[in-house]
């Protein structure tokens, strides 16, 4: 069976640029997540077998969860004072991601091809908010030259 999106007119994820934090490990992981979202979108614009779509969703989930663990370890090592709030934001993002999957799998859902855009929106909100706050902390502590919010 193949994935058959009902709307291919969505703007897509191709032109999305993520703000850089200046922390190389974090920025590289954000880029890998964005690329996984773009591969998912490609699957949804099909024709790809549903197995490919399922595999890409699982890969994306694993990548995000691994990123959150690595990011929290970075925050711990730098003794980031807002670690608990940052970790809570990760929990909220996980919950919102599951809610999106539920919404897009219901019979009256928006076109599935829009899912990656919705997920990119969550990623952007997180990076532009709490991740750039962390970058500012690193810069203040002399661990980064300056936050690289929009290079």
Single pTM value for the model = 0.80
Distance of CA 134 to the CA centre of its chain: 17
More confident position, 107 or 5: 107
Domains of the chain: 24-140 (1.20.120.50)
The confidence score (pLDDT) of residue 150 equals 53
d(CA 30, CA 123): 8
The confidence score (pLDDT) of residue 52 equals 78
Average pLDDT taken over every residue of the chain? 83
Taking a C-beta distance cutoff of 8 angstroms, is the pair 62, 97 a contact?
no
Q: How many CB atoms lie within 10 A of CB 13?
A: 20
Backbone angles phi and psi of 111, in degrees to 5? -55, 135
Q: Which long-range CB contacts under 8 A does 39-44 form with residues at least 24 apart?
A: 40/115, 40/116, 40/119, 41/12, 41/13, 41/113, 41/116, 41/117, 43/3, 44/3, 44/5, 44/112, 44/113, 44/115, 44/116
The confidence score (pLDDT) of residue 6 equals 41
The confidence score (pLDDT) of residue 70 equals 96
Taking a C-beta distance cutoff of 8 angstroms, is the pair 119, 18 a contact?
no
- Highest mean pLDDT: which range of 57-61, 68-72, 109-113: 68-72
Length of the chain, in residues: 151
d(CA 99, CA 93): 10
Average pLDDT over residues 107-114: 80
Helices (H) and strands (E) in the chain — how many of each? 5, 0
- Highest mean pLDDT: which range of 34-38, 51-55, 70-74, 100-104: 70-74
> What are the tens digits of pLDDT across the range 11-60?
567 778 888 998 999 999 999 999 998 888 888 877 767 787 788 888 89
CA nearest to 87, candidates 131, 122, 123:
131
């Amino acid at each position: 069976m193949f994935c058959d999106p009902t709307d291919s007119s969505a703007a897509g994820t191709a032109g999305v640029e993520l703000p850089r934090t200046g922390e190389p490990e974090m920025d590289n992981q954000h880029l890998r997540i964005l690329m996984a979202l773009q591969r998912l979108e490609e699957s949804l614009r099909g024709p790809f077998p549903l197995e490919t779509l399922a595999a890409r969703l699982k890969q994306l989930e694993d990548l995000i969860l691994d990123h959150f663990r690595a990011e929290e370890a970075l925050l711990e090592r730098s003794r980031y004072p807002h670690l608990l709030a940052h970790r809570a934001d990760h929990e909220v993002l996980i919950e919102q991601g599951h809610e999106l999957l539920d919404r897009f799998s219901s019979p009256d859902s928006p076109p599935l091809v829009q899912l990656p855009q919705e997920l990119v929106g969550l990623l952007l909100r997180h990076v532009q908010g709490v991740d750039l706050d962390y970058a500012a902390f690193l810069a203040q502590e002399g661990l980064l030259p300056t936050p690289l919010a929009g290079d």
